[in-house]
């Protein structure tokens, strides 16, 4: 199954490479958390995030609201207890942007490295990894913001 999804991923990248791109969207998300230490093994300082660079190749569906995107990204997590992990990934997704948010549906190939302690979930990584290895994921992500005063 993993080989089939990898082949589809590479096919999508090569098929889309023949078109002129619509754009080159990128995104980064990062957080730093300082917390009270409740046990000797628990980190007090944690940093985690993702950096992603993509290419929007063409519109999908009626109204040009969806775009087909290929991308490369890396998620990372570090803490003061020597927890270190990073996960390079490549993938393709269908993206729909809204005035106050975004929706992605896609497939990605991820290669996990390192080990981390207790981290919150990072966008672009389904769970915190404590071992090395490669995985393929189908996924959906979304974010929205609002202002109650408006």
Q: Where are the domains of the chain?
A: 2-144
Identify the pLDDT of residue 117: 52
Q: Which of 29-33, 104-108, 123-127 has the highest mean pLDDT?
A: 104-108
Listed range (9-18, 65-74, 98-107) with the worst mean pLDDT: 9-18
The Cα–Cα gap between 48 and 24 comes to 24
Q: In whole angstroms, how far apart are CA 94 and each of 60, 87, 101?
A: 8, 21, 14
pLDDT at 87 over 50: yes
Q: Which of 24-38, 48-62, 104-118 has the highest mean pLDDT?
A: 48-62
Identify the pLDDT of residue 80: 86
Average pLDDT over residues 38-47: 79
pTM of the shown model: 0.73
b/e sequence 3-32, b meaning 16+ C-beta within 10 Å = eeeeeebeebbeebeeeeeeeebeeeeeee
pLDDT at 129 over 50: no
Q: How many residues does the chain have?
A: 150
- Phi and psi (nearest 5°) for 7? -65, -40
Average pLDDT over residues 11-35: 79
pLDDT at 101 over 60: yes
Average pLDDT over residues 92-120: 86
Task: Region of 98 please: left (phi>0), alpha (psi -120 to 50) or beta.
Answer: beta
Identify the pLDDT of residue 127: 44
Identify the pLDDT of residue 128: 45
Between 38 and 125, the higher pLDDT residue:
38
Longest dimension (CA), the chain: 56
């Amino acid at each position: 199954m993993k080989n089939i999804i990898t082949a589809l991923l590479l096919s999508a990248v090569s098929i889309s490479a023949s078109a002129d791109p619509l754009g080159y969207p990128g995104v980064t998300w990062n957080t730093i958390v300082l917390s009270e230490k409740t046990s000797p093994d628990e980190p007090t300082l944690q940093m985690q995030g993702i950096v992603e660079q993509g290419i929007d190749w063409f519109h999908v569906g009626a109204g040009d609201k969806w775009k087909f995107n290929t991308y490369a990204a890396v998620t990372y997590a570090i803490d003061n207890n020597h927890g270190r992990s990073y996960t390079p990934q490549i993938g393709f997704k269908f993206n729909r942007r809204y005035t106050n948010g975004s929706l992605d549906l896609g497939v990605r190939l991820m290669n996990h490295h390192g080990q981390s302690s207790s981290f919150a979930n990072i966008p672009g990584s389904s769970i915190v990894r404590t071992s090395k290895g490669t995985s393929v994921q189908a996924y959906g992500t979304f974010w929205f913001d609002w202002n109650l005063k408006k």
